[in-house]
Amino acid sequence: MGEWKEECGVFGVWGQPRAAEITYLGLHSLQHRGQEGAGIASADGARIVCQKGKGLLSEVFPHGPQKPLSDGRHSIGHVRYATAGGDELENVQPMLVRARMGSIAVAHNGQVVNAPRLRENLEAQGSIFHSSSDSEIFLHLIQRGKGSLLEKLAGACLQLDGAFSAVILTEKSLYAVRDRFGFRPLSVAQLGEGYCVSSESCAYQAVGAKWLREVRPGEILKISSKGLESIEFCVPSEALCAMEY
């Protein structure tokens, strides 16, 4: 049967001192979901920094997150195995881009089945890719959208076919996204005056967070100084994965 592999794992923290260290602990609980690469992005309200590498979390961060990662109050992280693309460093997440509307970091779990067609269309319009990951396609779609970032995210998600969940970090906000089928898991928890999101609830026990609810299929959940804001980017059509369940 070959080597057994799980799905990728994503984790995010909003509104906590040394958020990257909390993300690091959360990712330890999700290490079984991917052993090929790991990364953490952190935001301090003014900028985003990202560190990542190939291998286990303990190999990429042998001494835990160090400065400037540890300065941020918001963070996302990812443990990876290759559902799409190779195991090159360019495909390790989170992926960080700096655009006119600000910096954005994305970490995603799942597979976009129409990715080849989307990539072909984007390249025909002048886009240049640095990786073979679906996450980079998502970033290009966001950038080409119109309106607020929330509207750009909704427009990008509508173009993705397949099973995915994602966490998106800006300098001041955290977004959690789940596909219309809810195939890939994602939930939100309370942590002090802030919040966490995770692929699996076992990670909340490691950081002392209190589970609140699942991110609903077809939902974009924005976490900011205003609290939790929710929109549905499509009509949900729930179809849970038996293995994930």
3-state secondary structure 135-197: HHHHHHHHHHCCCCHHHHHHHHHHCCCEEEEEEEECCCCEEEEECCCCCCCCEEEEECCEEEE
Closest by Cα among 146, 129, 166 to 41 = 166
Cis (ω within 30 of 0) for the bond into 68? yes
The question of whether 8 is a catalytic residue gets the answer yes
139-148 residues labelled b (16+ CB within 10 A) or e (exposed): bbbbbebeee
Query: Which residue in the list 8, 50, 157, 196 is annotated as catalytic?
Result: 8
Closest by Cα among 6, 14, 43, 34 to 188 = 14
Active site residues: 8
